[in-house]
Every structure is written in C-alpha cells, then in structure tokens.
Amino acid sequence: MSETTGQQGPVGAGPAIVLVEPQLGENIGMVARAMANFGLADLRLVNPRDGWPNEKARAAASRADHVVDAVRLFATLEEATADLNFVMATTARARDSFKPVRGPEAAAVDLRRRAAEGQGTGILFGRERWGLTNEEVGLADEIVTFPVDPKFASLNIAQAVLLMSYAFQAAGREGDQSPRFEAKVPEPATKEDLFRLFHHLEASLERAGYFFPEPKREVMTQNIRTMLTKANLSEPEVHTLRGVIKAFDYEAAQLRKKLGDAS
C-alpha cells in the first residue's frame, strides 16, 4: 500500500520524479530545489531510508516547500508508477536490455510530446551508491543516460534531476534558448557627444606632448578616433571617459603648479 503525503500534480504538467530508496534527506531536498528551478512539482519517494517527512530535506530544499509538501511516499516502485503511462529510467551503465536509449534532450522532447497528449510520465532515479537495479530498469519503457566523461560517470541524484528538469523545460521552448533576462543596453552616444570626446582627449594629449613627432600627428589622431568609434560607446560611457580625462588634466595641472612654485 502507498502512503500519500501530498496532492498529485496535474497530469501532463511535467514528468513525475521518482527516487528509489534515496538515502539522505539532504539529497531529497536538493532534488526538490532542482525541480522547482525548472517548474516540476511531482516528487515521489520509494521507501526512503530515513523515512518521511524529513527536516533535513526541507532545509536543503531552500524554500522549494511546495515540492516538499506535495511529496508522495510509496512502498514499491510498482505502486509509485502505477498511474503513469510512460516511464524512463536513468542510468550511467550499459544494461543487458534491448530498451531504447536516449540522451536527455531527445528524452525531454518525447516526454513533452507525451505530456501534451495527456499521458502521465515519470523518470526513475536510483540510489546514491549504486543506482537502479536491472529489475527496476526493466520496469521502465526506455533508458535515458547522460553524455558524461566515461572516466568519471557518477552523478549525484540532484545533479541528474537538475539535468533532466532543465532538458524538459528547454524542450518546451521550441528552440528558443535565450536567457531568462538580458542586460539593459543603453543607447549609443550621439555623434556630437563623441566629437566632444575626441576634442577633449586630443587637447589633453596635446598638453601632455603625446603627438610626437609632429608628422605623425594625423595618423595618431585617426588611430585614436577609429578606436573610440569602433567601441560604439554609450552616452554614459562617453561621459565617464571625459570625467577620467578631466581628472588626469587636474592632476597634471596641479603637478605643473607645484613645479612652477618650486622653481
């Protein structure tokens, strides 16, 4: 018999995340946090070692309380997946099985399609130390594995759930991989502001004796103007540069005054 400790999520909203005999409450909490990051909420536990509820899990969930509060507890994997139509098993090892094997991206696309059709779907994750047994993998419809370095293929549960949760969300964006927000880009400076910067800088360099020898003045000036034009400076950036030049001019004037007083 299963013990329910929360409400079942809406069918089709996303795959159920099924943890088989998880050992540490902290890992369960980090799984809940990873799910919440990408909009998943149906977390099912099969015979967790330290029981449930678990305060260490809630602390590690970092305010993903809606996932923790909706956790459902089951005695067997069969009970945990009984209401689902399609289940994938995660594993890093090749199995003696003829089940289809997918990467996370392809798996997520298929899960999205099935969810849109109203199917209940789930993803199985095994124990921290040795994953899923062959018998448990045998209960799944397909296998999903991650393209990790074969020399170090071990992922902890939260990492694996995070990868699948992200892949599921990305699969629903129809190729749009733009970030959640973008930096605000100021308008480019007007040419009038840019010309004032040219004149200000060139006057300062003239006082500092930069344009030497004289025959190279035109080339040196053009190089400076080309560099500043290519930078596509914004109005605030132009004003900042002029403030920097003004500060240098002030210090140079103070130095000249001190030298003049000393002489």
SS3 content of the chain, % helix, strand, coil (to 5): 50, 10, 40
Specify whether the CB–CB gap between 165 and 36 falls below 8 A.
Answer: no
Taken in order 215, 218, 223, 228, is the CA torsion positive or negative?
positive
pTM: 0.70
- Asked whether residue 59 is domain-assigned, the answer is yes
Q: pLDDT of 203-259, one tens digit each?
A: 999 999 999 999 999 999 999 999 999 998 999 999 999 999 999 999 988 888 888
Percentage of the chain surpassing pLDDT 70? Answer: 91
Q: pLDDT of 177-195, one tens digit each?
A: 566 667 787 888 999 999 9
- Asked whether residue 183 is domain-assigned, the answer is no
Q: What is the DSSP string of 175-191?
A: T----SS-PPPPPBPPH
Q: pLDDT of 129-168, one tens digit each?
A: 888 999 999 999 999 999 888 888 778 899 999 999 999 9
Specify whether the CB–CB gap between 16 and 121 falls below 8 A.
Answer: yes
252 and 149 within one domain? no
Specify whether the CB–CB gap between 200 and 242 falls below 8 A.
Answer: yes
Q: Is 120 helix (H, G, I), strand (E, B) or coil?
A: coil
Q: Alpha carbon 166 to chain centroid distance?
A: 8
**Distance (Å, whole) CA 60 – CA 258:** 63
78 and 196 within one domain? no
135 and 20 within one domain? yes
- With b for 16 or more beta-carbon neighbours within 10 A and e for fewer, the 41-78 pattern comes to bbbbbbbbeeebebeebbebbeebeebbebbbbbeebe
Domain region containing 147: 16-171
- Asked whether residue 198 is domain-assigned, the answer is yes
195 and 167 within one domain? no
Taken in order 95, 157, 177, 107, is the CA torsion positive or negative?
positive
196 and 121 within one domain? no
Token readout for 232 is 């596509």
Total number of domains in the chain: 2
223 and 142 within one domain? no
Q: What is the DSSP string of 123-175?
A: EEE-BTTTB--HHHHHTSSEEE-----GGG----HHHHHHHHHHHHHHHTTTT
202 and 75 within one domain? no
- Asked whether residue 180 is domain-assigned, the answer is no
CATH code of residue 152: 3.40.1280.10
Mean pLDDT on 19-47: 96
Tell me what pLDDT residue 111 has: 95
